[in-house]
Each structure stands twice: as structure tokens, then as C-alpha cells.
Structure 1
């Protein structure tokens, strides 16, 4: 998706929210019909039958007829695709769309091509039932057959065109790079570069903590709580924008400079899962400490560094050139002699091999192992520990 910032006027924002409300109503109504299925009844209406019901509803209710038919039909299309994804096993069960959380709608067909370039920085799109709405041309607008208008929790409007850019061609130099992802250092390259994902500053973090404390003291549903939520959302959106911008720039540079990009095959979802409670066997109904607070801090550090987003964008931009390596023992293996031992890594940043004395940055050493593809055989390169009292065993002939 090629996303741009949309700048509607206050009157246009009211009209856009009304379109979002109608799209959300049609989607939830289709979900309610689908949820009413039981074994003793027939199949629930599909998209074609629901589209006929939508036509009858628009003829009966004026408030529904005042909205765009394209927006409402595409809401049915979105639900139909969500059901297909659920039965295919690629997505979870469709859920209800909520106000303030799911604000958006989609435009397709000839109406999606009504775009006019105003100058080198601005353009306008003709949204049905809304009019011409300006958006910022941060890059050339692509030629797309559909677009989606959304509003995030920070009250920012965006327009996203359904146009996937082509992958970045390989430079043809044959160079390979390894990328080691971490919390203190977001990404360490085998070339020796240490990259850090920008986040909120100390002043902004203090402001965020102050707003969260203020929200905890507000009455639920009050105007003060709503203002606090918007202020918190703006700070979190600022951190997300900085993280996405950093990921886009780093992934583009790596795709342009290297032919093969090797990363660790990490399962981020289980890594960021909260720890399970530990029941106390001596006291029924009580639980032992499970270091949940420390694990929560680690989870926030992993998510704040954009581990998954970086690999996702690399796979899109450098299609077919991203290789995933088993991450086992990459941080404990010497990149020079291949010796693998826990005492090799003295601290988070210092690596000193106990066998050959090689010293380097721990993250860079792991990135070199990933680039060389040594992670899979790292444990087998170290001879197993054998008791000195054991008699030597003769090798069996083939």
C-alpha cells in the first residue's frame, strides 16, 4: 500500500466519519447474520444475497440511502474476504468493528481514479458524498484502481492506494550481509555497523508516563479521559512513525547494497508472550513470582525495535534474496575459529573467545556468524565434553 496523509476540513471530517459509521454498520450486520448459523438451519446469506438485501435496505431507510453505495458494498466485500480467510486458516475469526478503533472505508472502480494534482506538494481526491479532499504528495501518487481512507487513534486521516511497488533489483556484486537483531542495538550488521531504532526522547517518555497516570485517575468515559487518550495516542503514533521510517530506510539500503541478506529465524510472537503463572504447591490459590514485570519490559523492548517489521519489509523489497538462519548459538560461537562456549560472551556488548582470544562486539560477531550460515552447525563444531577417565573409543570402519 502507498499511504499518504489526508487533510480534510472540519466539515469533511464529519462527512468522512459518517461514511465510516455506515461501513461499520453494514459490516457488523453481515457478521451478525453469519454468526446466527446453526447446524439445523440452512446456510447464511453470502455476498450476492447480502448485496440484494442492501439494495432493499437503502430503498427503505433514507439515512442509509444518503451514504455511498460503493462504500457499503465494499464493506460487504471486506466481510466476505474475512470469512474466506478464516475458512482458509490464514486469519482468525472475524470480529466486530468498533467506533474509534475501526474507522475507515474503501473506494473502488472509476471513482478511485478521480485524483487531481494541485501542485508539487498537494493533490486532491474526490471522495463520494464528501467532495474534494486534499492529501500531501510525499511521493508521486501511484496509478491504482482502489484506495482506502482511514483514521487512526491520534485523529489523523490517511489515504492508502492499493498499489504494490516492484521489488528493488539486486546490485549484482555477490555480497552477503548478516543482520543480528537485539534490544540494546536494534540491528547489528556483519559489516560492523550498529543501528539503533529511534524512539521517544526522555522528555516525551516522561510526558507519556504523566498522561498515563492522569488517565488512571480520570472517570471512565469522561471528556478528560478522552482528551488523555488522544494525547497518549499522539505520542505513541509519533514513536510508531519514527520506527516505521527507520525500518523503511534501513531495509531500502540493505536491499540496494547486498545480493543476499541473512537474518535470524525468530518466532517473535511466542517470544513476546506473557509468562504463565506459577501456582504455589504449598498454598493452594496462591502463585509464585514469575518475573512478569521483567518479561514485560523485555517484550516492550523487542516490539519497540521493530524486529518483525524489518524482516517483513526486507522480504518485500528484496524478494527471494532474504534467507533465514537458525539462531541457535550464534551469540556464543566465535566467528574466527568456530569455538562455541557460554564463557565466550562476557557481557551484552563484549565477546572474547576462550580458545583463540578473538575479541569483538558481541552483536557484530553474531551477525558475522549469521552471514556465514554457521548458526546451524555451530554446536557441532565444538567437540563434546568427555570424561578424562573414559578409555579412547576406536572409530568404526565404514
Structure 2
């Protein structure tokens, strides 16, 4: 299986100028090719091939635009390959060959958004503390961990906050962790990020909520600046750095949580909140203006992606159940369905057996029971209902 390893790089001022020139050339080739494809497809109903685009926007363009020769040719070719793949994904999604969420057509790139250039083959070299790129030079790199195998390609990335990264693609063989014979069901919430079927509740850091006032202040200053001015660029960079900080905090939390679950449990069960062929439950909840900001601050889609990928890497089992399962309505003790409950109802008592439930813990137990034999959950239930309502311990 293929994996990405991302590292921070620190180019000097001369190298930053050369990298910006490289990003600009890649962006020019992409935008010109995209405009040509859109025009040709609108008039003739077909898209030119990758070979035709290479001849027109790289080979012939270099004779007229001499500044295209100042950068390496490999990233320019990769830009056209990415454009061709983007169109292929879009057409396959429209025809039904590509399953999942509908893919949108490729868009034009801007200089203020994320920039990237990819090198493949032997066009780059890796040393102990530097990485060599053709027509750029040796750039300082910080190896936070070792590469497992020789990478097949490297992407030089500049994010919106002005940070530079090197992302390597390597062929990673599946690893195995010791078997624990433990199973867990996870109910994802809003006030509590995740509730496990063993009664443990995990709170999210919610970095966006903690930085809302600072973000609003920066955005107000950005709105008052003149378009195209240097002050606007500084204000935009300040907003981007704050967003990058929020993203890093959230990603760090999700990585640590998913890794901890993989080490402790052999089977992880989640509710399928993200439908593949239609609008998922989360997409519908985001339309609620009162919940959208809180849900987006959690990163639940990222959590599922990381957990599923790590289960595949370390030989653990990842299962999802249908989002139409009545996990919040059914009693985990007797199976009685008490009907739909409002979000403000956090605890309830079963009308059939009289058991008092915590809403999230009961839902997590029901999620696990869908895929796991009930005999394995019996010990958890007995422990749960022997405790008093005032102090529930696992």
C-alpha cells in the first residue's frame, strides 16, 4: 500500500524566489490548459489528450515564453497529468464508473491558495539533512521520522500560511500489532467528540471555538484593507496562519486518538454518517446554522479516514453500520425501541425494563451489538446496570 510522509522544509530567500517561480509556471500551464480544454469541449464536445496538451503548452510554449525554461520540466508535465486525471475522475463520476461523492470539474488555480509541484523519478536527491531539487538547489529539511522505503515521488508544497513542506510517496508494507481480542463501538457526538461502548467519553479540543474572537478580529481588519495592497497581503497571511494553527491542533488530536484506539482494540465499529451515493447525515446537519460550526470544528470525517487507513495498515478490523440503525432509540438491555428523542435528552429510562441509560453510552453499545454477538457484550451490560445511576463506572 502507498503512504505519504510529510516533512517541513526551510528554503532560503533565493530558493523561495525559485520555488515561487516554479509554482507560477506550474500554475500557468494548468490554467492555460484548463481554459483550452473548456473551450474545446464546449465547441467540439471532446477534450484534447495529454500528449496534445504537452506539445502545445510546454514544448511550443517554451519557444515563445523563455521563462518556462528557467524551471524544471518534470513538474510542468506532472501538472498536465494531474489535469488529465482530474478530468478523467470528473467524467467517470458523471457516467457512474466512479463510485462515491460526485466529483466536480477542475478549477483554475490562484497564487494565494495552496501551491504544489511534483518531482518524480531521479529528478531529486535526498541527503542527511537536505533535499536537492533541479534548478532550485539543496533545501534544508527536518526529518521527523525515517522513510521506510525509497520514495517514488516528492511534492513540494507551500500552504496558504507561507509554510513549505516536502511530501514523499512510498510503498509501505502492512504491519501487524499484537492482538488484544477487544472490541469497541464508537458513537460520535457534538458536545462529546466520541463515546466508547465501555463508557469512556473523549472530549475534542475544539480549536476553532477557542480562537473565534481572534479570527473575527483578523477578518475584520482584512475586510477593511484595499484589494491588491501589501497591507491586505499581511492581513490575509495572518488569517491563514491562524487557520493553519487550528488545523494542526485538530489533526494532532485525531492522529493520537486513532492511534490509541488501534493499539487497544482489534475491531472498531462506527456509524456510517457519510453516505457514499447520497447526502450523508453530517452533510444534512451542517445545513443547520446552529450546529454547522460545531460539527466542522470536530473533524469527524478526518477521524474516520485516519482510523480506517490505520486499521488497514496494522491488520485491524474496521466496520461501519448503517446510519438508519436506531442506536439512540433502542434500549441496549432489552432491545425495546422508545422512539425518537430530541438532542437535549441526554439520559432516559426504558419503559420496558426500567433501565436508566446515558444516551451516548447506550448508542455506543448498540453500535457494537450490530456487528458483534451479544454474548461478548454481556459483561459490559451487566457491569453497567449493576452500578447506581449516580455513579456509572467501567
- Which category of TM-score, normalised to the shorter sequence, fits these structures? 0.7 to 0.9
Once the two structures are TM-superposed, the CA of residue 302 in structure 1 deviates from its matched residue by 1.4
Structure 1 residues 374, 238: closer, same or farther in 2, change over 3 A? Answer: same
CA contact (8 A) 1:168 1:255 kept: no
Rounded to whole Å, the distance in 2 between the matches of 1:138 and 1:40 is: 51
CA contact (8 A) 2:346 2:358 kept: yes
Is 1:371 aligned to residue 383 of structure 2? no
Normalising to structure 2: TM-score of the pair?
A: 0.81
Structure 1 residues 340, 365: closer, same or farther in 2, change over 3 A? Answer: same
Q: How many residues align structurally? A: 352
Rounded to whole Å, the distance in 2 between the matches of 1:134 and 1:170 is: 34
- The correspondence for 2:322, drawn from 322, 326, 329, is 326
- The correspondence for 2:14, drawn from 11, 16, 22, is 11
Partner secondary structure for residue 98 of structure 1:
coil
Is 1:150 aligned to residue 164 of structure 2? no
Partner of 1:27: 30
With 9-18 and 38-47 compared, the bigger mean Cα shift is at 38-47
Cα RMSD for the two superposed structures: 2.7
CA contact (8 A) 2:328 2:360 kept: yes
- The correspondence for 1:106, drawn from 99, 103, 118, is 118
CA contact (8 A) 2:90 2:104 kept: yes
- The correspondence for 2:108, drawn from 96, 107, 114, is 96
Once the two structures are TM-superposed, the CA of residue 57 in structure 1 deviates from its matched residue by 2.2
Once the two structures are TM-superposed, the CA of residue 366 in structure 1 deviates from its matched residue by 0.9
Structure 1 residues 176, 274: closer, same or farther in 2, change over 3 A? Answer: closer
Partner of 1:79: 83
CA contact (8 A) 1:264 1:370 kept: yes
CA contact (8 A) 2:151 2:171 kept: no
Partner of 2:332: 335
Once the two structures are TM-superposed, the CA of residue 41 in structure 1 deviates from its matched residue by 4.2
Rounded to whole Å, the distance in 1 between the matches of 2:317 and 2:284 is: 33
Structure 1 residues 272, 323: closer, same or farther in 2, change over 3 A? Answer: closer
CA contact (8 A) 2:208 2:246 kept: no
Partner of 1:359: 356
Structure 1 residues 33, 202: closer, same or farther in 2, change over 3 A? Answer: closer
Per-residue displacement from partner, 1:58-102 (whole Å, max 9, x unpaired)?
234321111111111111111111122122214321111121114
Normalising to structure 1: TM-score of the pair?
A: 0.80
Stretches of structure 2 that go unaligned for 5 or more consecutive residues are: 373-394
Partner of 2:387: none
With 351-360 and 87-96 compared, the bigger mean Cα shift is at 351-360
Partner secondary structure for residue 149 of structure 1:
strand
With 366-375 and 178-187 compared, the bigger mean Cα shift is at 366-375
Once the two structures are TM-superposed, the CA of residue 202 in structure 1 deviates from its matched residue by 7.0
Q: Within 5 Å, which residues of 2 pair with 1:189-204?
A: 189-200=196-207, 204=211
Partner secondary structure for residue 341 of structure 1:
coil
Is 1:137 aligned to residue 143 of structure 2? yes
Q: Within 5 Å, which residues of 2 pair with 1:46-57?
A: 46-53=49-56, 54-57=58-61
CA contact (8 A) 1:2 1:164 kept: no
Once the two structures are TM-superposed, the CA of residue 44 in structure 1 deviates from its matched residue by 4.5
Rounded to whole Å, the distance in 2 between the matches of 1:148 and 1:346 is: 44
